[in-house]
Amino acid sequence: MPAISTNDLKNGVSLNIDNTLYTVVEFQHVKPGKGGAFVRTKLRNLRTGNMLERTFNAGIKVEQAILDKRDMQFLYKDGDDYVFMDNVTYDQLTIKPVALGDAADYLIENAVAMIASYGDEIVSVEIPPSVELEIAFTEPGMQGDRVSGARKPATLQTGKVIQVPLFVNIGDRVKVDTRTAEYVTRVGP
């Protein structure tokens, strides 16, 4: 594995520290008036998503983890597993729902996701920040109910339940923010 200096750390760089994969979320080079310089970092564990704050002495070497990132198209669900196809080689890859995390709530056939792997292990699945999905079920809005900002539950075509405004009906297409699971806007019927 390549070793890089802590002076070369940047946001998004993946590191292998004590056989645990992290990505740099935030870093700050600090040069106090007295003593040696150091680098203060915030790291996200790629396997669990937990955050860790760690301080490194300036100039020491850390092991960089090289992730293989590929665009892959979601084909279909095989039992509990998800089957993806590499857009370049057309190889198919089966991914467990645990590796997908929250991305599984927004995947429909032919959707494209960025799959990052380290060796044979899938470490992250990135989907677009917003997706357009169809409403599979929701209660009809009550005639005359004009409460500002009122919401009702709606089930998306993937099975995910979100809160939508009262005017949204079954069959409507809506844009959903995949980071917060919030309704953004109605796209059309």
Enumerate the H helices of the chain as residue ranges. 97-100
16-56 pLDDT tens trace: 998 889 989 999 998 888 888 999 999 988 888 789 999 99
State the Cα–Cα distance between residues 50 and 43, nearest whole angstrom: 8
> Do 18 and 42 lie in a common domain?
yes
The whole-number pLDDT of residue 144 equals 60
Q: Which of 92, 110, 126 is the last residue of a domain?
A: 126
The whole-number pLDDT of residue 143 equals 61
> Do 137 and 175 lie in a common domain?
yes
What is the greatest pairwise CA distance in the chain? 70
The whole-number pLDDT of residue 99 equals 81
Whether the CB-CB separation of 9 and 39 falls below 8 Å is answered with yes
Beta-carbon contacts of 140 under 8 Å, excluding residues fewer than 6 positions away, are: 169
For the four alpha carbons of 119, 123, 128 and 134, in that order, the dihedral sign comes to: positive
The whole-number pLDDT of residue 121 equals 85
The single residue listed with the structure tokens 């300036």 is 58
> Do 39 and 76 lie in a common domain?
no
Task: Provide the CATH number for the domain around residue 56.
Answer: 2.30.30.30
The count of domains in the chain is 3
Tokens representing residue 86 in the block: 């590499």
State the Cα–Cα distance between residues 148 and 165, nearest whole angstrom: 9
The whole-number pLDDT of residue 46 equals 84
Q: Which of 105, 126, 147 is the last residue of a domain?
A: 126
State the Cα–Cα distance between residues 71 and 92, nearest whole angstrom: 12
* pLDDT < 70 stretches in the chain: 1, 142-148
> Beta strand 61-63 with 51-57: parallel, antiparallel or unpaired?
unpaired
> Do 37 and 81 lie in a common domain?
no
Task: Provide the CATH number for the domain around residue 90.
Answer: 2.40.50.140
Domain that residue 25 falls in:
3-63
> Do 32 and 54 lie in a common domain?
yes
Q: Which of 63, 85, 114 is the last residue of a domain?
A: 63
> Do 121 and 134 lie in a common domain?
no
